[in-house]
Structure 1
């Protein structure tokens, strides 16, 4: 079963505040209520469907003809949809108020039951991978509807060399809720419960991190110290979470004969290790030309000889502190989408009108932002923590890009819609780029243009440089954990080793910053996910260059790429644009766009 990320019922009071009427989720498209008959009915159906599936097919997969195998695949897909729908609802409700123990219990109970129901299905992937290649090729040749699922089969069979015995696979599936999933939940609940004292005010994580983008330097410094103090108080818990998850991964990887800790992620992403290494090496080689150079410029703008970590995301002195209302944010993004293609704006519209976005900051709400595809028979939901900053407008453009991508890919059906992580960031980053170019076009003064360019460069550095530094940190963390238990100081040292290298000479690192690895959720939820952001940014920069060169068929090719979902490999998807991610020059094309923006900023200094 593919895992569905964990998910307030419609709040009739809405989210009115100084930014306007902020929309909240209406989850009734998934289920009317957690205790209604609809969920009970689906849970009963799922229980029976899983048992019947195992009864009909276990031990018999190699005897099926093409039509019967197609029937099995479609039944499996239907089970995936119902399980995914239930978990999406439970997860989205939980994320709206993670401190609500009833929501947490509901999600955990659903997860436990669905894990139990689906344990009998473990045989399916194992038996499928034991099918002889020639036999499977013959079945695919005999039935075009079955052949459509070939990309799914290819991804399953990529795990063939790493498959364990049927009994062990069932055990791992069964025990998953008390393994990584339990440690993930401990991390989420700990983070949601943290309180930070800043200048006499008690804030949650999201609001405290937001202070790091305040114009007032003393507020940024106070927030940094508050973060460091609270992370330090909880550092043993965070170190325990990381030690346990890294060790659990090492044990499973060893049993599966994975060649490296990253190998499982590369397989899941359908990307070759050498492509990721080419990306990583290109970005690390570009640190001096990108982040080091930009932050030296920024120090000058801020009037500083040396920068502290709390200056990294500081607004520029000439930047206005104007809050952007929700209506303006919506209009900006919708106009940018419509300028590219009217149909793109039409796909985005229901997110605003039909309760598909949850925007306000609320007590207990999960931090950050995401777009969750739910299942292909419903629609995606977008979560934001909207605070009226220019960056929040870019976040809206980003998550809406994901949403549009997920809507378009849904036509592939449940098993083929899910885009590998390497391409999952394409539409989101492209949506951001369209919005940025729209804003740049409207800049009335040199200063306004400078602020916009600097903001975009910072976002790109955070997406490319910072995420590759995160990736290096994870690589070091997993390698070090393989040698033994890591103390908090050990993990702190690994974190600092990548920070100075990636940020550059101009930075001083205040005591306490060494613990800032603790709040990054990707290290816990999705080991080695972070390179997908850099992959997506580099890929979109290269794509955007093709768009700017004036390819007359670009829009059609672009929509075709999004509609493909997970049905094609990145080589196939990029070929129509004349791009190839395995070519090291490909990454330089993307990085040179960031460099060009920094060139323009430097030229403005003259």
Structure 2
């Protein structure tokens, strides 16, 4: 019999001692020295000296790559420490230290980009043709373009410095408050305290009275902090808008589209295709309401199981299921997942004091990854675990790619993760023991489509409208609640009986400062991965190498070019999106027929 996997991660193999790690302290000190040296190296570089000096530029780029990897390594470690124990005060101090160091490095990178922008076109083209720099032509061209659209070096460095205690501080404030929030729930005649993450897991309880009570308690908890979260959202939004104004950027979508390397036409084509197909998912929502004996679902009913008996799986059972089904598509991905479980790269223990949610973070210098989540044994938890392993595998196949070409955007990052999740979801349906189990697992798949097409759409609509109003001044908590409910009603085609006005405060994504509009890339990744999944089933055994090749290109191509090269499709046209959504619609139809 196989030994059970340990659901706690091993961070000591990277830096022993947690937030007191001397090795980590030394590592950060060395990064500081490297950043200072790199700054001097870039300052001394004179672009006007031209092509004959391309070795000097190649040396700068080589050092930039090495230091960037170490920055990511240190940042990942701090993320893990602050997530595993929200009461670790030293870890919280390290979060501030990381932000300051990142601002310094961002300033150095800004200076470097401006140096590239100063090169004349002829010299630039010749440099990109050189042996040392040709493989980095995409990202270097991107740097050069970014510099042309920004303010002067001095102004951009000042913005970076002010972001530490301004912009990013609001995000940290939000995280600190959420980490201390607790919800009291009565269980078996006794009152117990839960973190908001643990309490949220109970919204999938088959008993509607339990879900309603949990939803009300969570609503109370978020409402109590709404004034504070209204401040965090307004101020980080205000900071972002001021930065855009001074750079002369007229659209709040300019930055997120550039970060995700995609065109506005692609985004519009995707949302149009989704809006045109929402009626199928409304049918599903209505049917589910009928099955649960309700006139209309409330927000807290969407995640409810349709079966009274919810099957749960031990952590080891969930892990084995993932590895086994990855193997059918990609033996290399299965071997990687098995190694991640064996080497304890995953923090999945269900305990208080952890941050809510899940993530995967990369340690590029150690060529390792770490996954964070809270596993309570549901099929949804297994899907989340597979999702995060998809992220981890994406980084794994890029370990030997130049570090500057590893900077893939969130939309394609979500493609790899959703593809992995889809493999497991499909396998669960196919392995169902009876009609009731198949129906429940199929419904789990449809729920995911509803999340990407309706819930994420509501977030996107809310965020657009929030920024429209924020340009005119501070937006009150009452108005934020109204905007949230209006967005939910539109996104769900008004198919629900009760909405969640506090969703803007309870969703971490609205308060993230690293990536604005932390929503539409999820839907893009979901639908793009459906296209890859269909391609995989068509190709069969020869798929694995094609998939790895696609993943390795994600950091050095625009998504439209990536899709054209590897799938031979045009993302700016609705056809691709319509075809991907059709696969989801067929799940709805099969569910309704059952």
TM-score bin (small chain): over 0.9
> Is 1:501 matched with 2:485?
no
Matching residue within 178, 198, 203 for 2:165: 178
Counterpart residue number, 1:523 = 510
- What SS does the corresponding residue of 2:408 show, helix, strand or coil? coil
Counterpart residue number, 2:24 = 39
Question: In 2, distance between residues paired with 1:566 and 1:477?
Answer: 31
Question: In 2, distance between residues paired with 1:120 and 1:398?
Answer: 34
How much has 1:35 moved relative to structure 2? 4.5
Question: In 2, distance between residues paired with 1:37 and 1:303?
Answer: 59
Shift of the 440–148 alpha-carbon distance from structure 1 to 2, 3 Å rule, reads same
How much has 1:488 moved relative to structure 2? 0.5
- What SS does the corresponding residue of 1:158 show, helix, strand or coil? helix
Matching residue within 112, 128, 141 for 2:100: 112
Counterpart residue number, 2:312 = 323
> Is 1:447 matched with 2:431?
no
Shift of the 364–155 alpha-carbon distance from structure 1 to 2, 3 Å rule, reads farther
Summarize deviations over 1:413-454 as a string: whole Å, max 9, x none.
321112112211111111111112222221232222211111
Counterpart residue number, 1:577 = 567
Question: In 1, distance between residues paired with 2:44 and 2:250?
Answer: 30
Shift of the 36–435 alpha-carbon distance from structure 1 to 2, 3 Å rule, reads closer
Where does the alignment leave 5 or more consecutive residues of structure 2 unmatched?
none
Shift of the 88–61 alpha-carbon distance from structure 1 to 2, 3 Å rule, reads farther
Question: In 2, distance between residues paired with 1:226 and 1:360?
Answer: 24
Summarize deviations over 1:2-38 as a string: whole Å, max 9, x none.
xxxxxxxxxxxxxxxxx96542121134322354553
How much has 1:551 moved relative to structure 2? 6.0
Conservation of the 8 A alpha-carbon contact between 2:255 and 2:516? no
Summarize deviations over 1:243-271 as a string: whole Å, max 9, x none.
11111111001111223011101111111
Question: In 2, distance between residues paired with 1:121 and 1:344?
Answer: 34
Identify the range of structure 1 (130-139 vs 401-410) with the bigger mean alpha-carbon deviation.
Answer: 130-139
Shift of the 286–202 alpha-carbon distance from structure 1 to 2, 3 Å rule, reads same
Counterpart residue number, 2:86 = 98
How much has 1:41 moved relative to structure 2? 3.5
> Is 1:191 matched with 2:167?
no
Counterpart residue number, 2:583 = 593
Shift of the 30–294 alpha-carbon distance from structure 1 to 2, 3 Å rule, reads same
How much has 1:471 moved relative to structure 2? 0.8
Summarize deviations over 1:350-406 as a string: whole Å, max 9, x none.
210112101112322111111112325431111111011110000011101111111
> Is 1:362 matched with 2:347?
no
Matching residue within 49, 72, 89 for 2:34: 49
- 1:230-379 matches, within 5 Å, as 230-290=221-281, 292-316=282-306, 318=307, 320-379=309-368
Summarize deviations over 1:155-185 as a string: whole Å, max 9, x none.
2233234211111111112222102211111
Conservation of the 8 A alpha-carbon contact between 1:541 and 1:589? no
Counterpart residue number, 1:9 = none
Question: In 2, distance between residues paired with 1:339 and 1:392?
Answer: 21
> Is 1:151 matched with 2:141?
no
Counterpart residue number, 2:7 = 23
Counterpart residue number, 1:69 = 57
**TM-score, length-normalised on structure 2?**
0.93
Conservation of the 8 A alpha-carbon contact between 2:414 and 2:526? yes
Identify the range of structure 1 (99-108 vs 113-122) with the bigger mean alpha-carbon deviation.
Answer: 113-122
Question: In 2, distance between residues paired with 1:271 and 1:377?
Answer: 31
Conservation of the 8 A alpha-carbon contact between 1:195 and 1:202? yes
Question: In 1, distance between residues paired with 2:562 and 2:520?
Answer: 19
> Is 1:138 matched with 2:126?
yes
> Is 1:456 matched with 2:445?
yes
Counterpart residue number, 1:16 = none
How much has 1:121 moved relative to structure 2? 5.1
Shift of the 71–208 alpha-carbon distance from structure 1 to 2, 3 Å rule, reads same
Counterpart residue number, 1:10 = none
Question: In 2, distance between residues paired with 1:132 and 1:522?
Answer: 40
Conservation of the 8 A alpha-carbon contact between 2:550 and 2:562? yes
Shift of the 537–120 alpha-carbon distance from structure 1 to 2, 3 Å rule, reads closer
Question: In 2, distance between residues paired with 1:170 and 1:50?
Answer: 14
Q: How many residues align?
A: 581
Question: In 2, distance between residues paired with 1:78 and 1:506?
Answer: 52
Question: In 2, distance between residues paired with 1:217 and 1:44?
Answer: 53
